[in-house]
Amino acid sequence: MDRVALRGLRARGYHGVFPHEREEGQTFVVDLTLGLDTRPAAADDDLTKTVHYGIVAEEVVGIVEGEPVNLIETLAERIARACLGHEGVQEVEVSVHKPNAPITVPFDDVTVTITRSRV
């Protein structure tokens, strides 16, 4: 299976279990790896035979900026479902980063990574 990856998609969201997270919001970062067969697109040099990663990126940002959820696990699941909604995408790996998570000790990042497929 071939891979199309998008790294570092950024959007402001209002996800979290604490009231200040819902009120103030924060930046979330999303990395995606889409699994699909790119051979038909490459053979014909035809965008319609692959996934349009610009549209996927816009959809992902819309999900992050959209309806708040408590958990980034839920956010990752919503993103995965949207990606699998694109014809040809057979598998997706989604990583949601929450670099400003409310943790009381020094840290670099919090990430949830899920893999979902049509199978």
Task: Catalogue the active-site residues.
Answer: 98
CB-based burial label for 64 (10 Å; 0-12, 13-18, 19+): buried
Sign of CA dihedral 66, 61, 93, 106: negative
